[in-house]
């Protein structure tokens, strides 16, 4: 039987450790560019009414991007993984294009779609798409052939096998890729909003930096970090709700 602290207690311990480390680092460096939590947290609370609209925009962009990238990548990746012909055609293309840093296309997307939401969403969705695509493809290829044959012997069609065998087996790996993609998506969003934006948390952080208002800047950093944690937890809850069979099988 596994033992350990429950999740809220674990979060509380981690939060105390992070705040203590932050305060010690601020005390050691004694730089105005790194205000301690005792200075930054009150500013964060006082700016909530200003941060909430920017945070809502940033969350919308990340959620929309991840949803689009995932919905496109999962069925395509599973189909490629279960077909030797499709894999022989598309796998080389995937391996050639995946290492290319998609963020370099931001200037092109800005010219094509402007400074609004579309350019940012397309960029992040493209990055998430490739991460999920490769994971889904590899997960589909790793499904035991015996499981497929046993269901096929009962008269299951190709779509039934995909729905009841391949997709559930690949789901844990897909959620793992989604959690990893969360950090990447938030990081790329910050870059996109700071370079080409007039709103969002990325713009808020860089605007504060330009004003040399470091407590305000750290308030924005805290808001973006909180957005990332919320997204991560939502994905964690979704995985627990959709993969309950993993706990019952242990």
Domain that holds residue 101: 35-249
The stretch 12-40 carries a mean pLDDT of: 91
pLDDT of residue 226: 92
Residue 203 neighbours by CB under 8 Å, 6+ apart: 54, 193, 194, 197
Q: How far is CA 220 from the centre of its chain?
A: 19
Residue 244 has pLDDT above 80, yes or no: no
Q: Give the residue from 29, 191, 164 showing the smallest Cα distance to 102.
A: 191
pLDDT of residue 68: 96
Asked if residue 14 belongs to a domain, the reply is no
Question: How does residue 95 score in pLDDT terms, banded at 50, 70 and 90?
Answer: confident
- Report the alpha-carbon angle 75-78-83, nearest 5: 125
Global pTM value: 0.87
pLDDT of residue 249: 52
Q: 69-78, 94-103, 130-139, 214-223: lowest mean pLDDT where? A: 94-103
Residue 77 has pLDDT above 90, yes or no: yes
Asked if residue 3 belongs to a domain, the reply is no
Average model confidence (pLDDT) for the chain? 88
**Which residue, chain included where needed, has tokens 């939590």?**
37
DSSP letters for the chain: ------HHHHHHHHHHHHHHHHHHHHHHH--TTS--HHHHHHHHHHTHHHHHHHHHHHHHHHHHHHHHHHHHHHHHHHHHHT-HHHHHHHHHHHHHHTTS-GGGGHHHHHHHH-SSHHHHHHHHHHHHHHHHHHHHHHHHHTS-HHHHHHHHTTT--HHHHIIIIIHHHHHHHHHHHHHHHHHHHHHHHHHHHHHS-SSSHHHHHHHHHHTT-HHHHHHHHHHHHHHHHHHHHHHHHHHHHH-HHHHHH-
pLDDT of residue 54: 94
pLDDT (tens digit, 9 = 90+) per residue, 188-200?
A: 999 999 987 789 9
Residue 7 has pLDDT above 90, yes or no: no
Asked if residue 24 belongs to a domain, the reply is no
Asked if residue 92 belongs to a domain, the reply is yes
Residue 63 has pLDDT above 70, yes or no: yes
The stretch 235-241 carries a mean pLDDT of: 89
Asked if residue 70 belongs to a domain, the reply is yes
- State how many domains the chain has: 1
Asked if residue 125 belongs to a domain, the reply is yes
Asked if residue 100 belongs to a domain, the reply is yes
Asked if residue 67 belongs to a domain, the reply is yes
Task: Give the CATH number of the domain where residue 73 resides.
Answer: 1.10.3720.10
């Amino acid at each position: 039987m596994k033992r350990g602290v429950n999740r809220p207690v674990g979060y509380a311990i981690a939060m105390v450790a992070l705040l203590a480390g932050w305060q010690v680092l601020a005390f050691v460096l004694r730089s105005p560019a790194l205000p301690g939590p005792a200075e930054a947290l009150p500013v964060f609370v006082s700016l909530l009414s200003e941060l909430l609209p920017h945070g809502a925009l940033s969350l919308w962009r990340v959620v929309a991007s991840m949803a689009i990238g995932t919905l496109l990548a999962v069925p395509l990746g599973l189909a490629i993984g279960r077909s030797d012909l499709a894999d022989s055609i598309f796998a080389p293309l995937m391996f050639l294009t995946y290492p290319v840093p998609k963020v370099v296309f931001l200037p092109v997307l800005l010219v094509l779609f402007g400074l609004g939401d579309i350019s940012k969403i397309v960029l992040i969705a493209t990055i998430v798409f490739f991460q999920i695509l490769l994971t889904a493809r590899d997960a589909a290829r790793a499904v035991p052939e015996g499981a497929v044959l046993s269901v096929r012997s009962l008269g299951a069609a190709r779509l039934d096998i995909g729905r009841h065998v391949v997709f559930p087996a690949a789901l844990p790996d897909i959620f793992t890729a989604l959690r990893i993609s969360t950090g990447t998506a938030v990081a790329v969003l910050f870059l996109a909003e700071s370079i080409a934006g007039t709103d969002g948390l990325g713009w808020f952080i860089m605007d504060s930096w330009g004003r040399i208002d470091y407590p305000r800047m750290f308030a924005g950093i805290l808001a973006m970090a909180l957005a990332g944690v919320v997204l991560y937890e939502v994905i964690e809850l979704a995985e627990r709700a959709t993969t309950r069979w993993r706990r019952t099988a242990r």
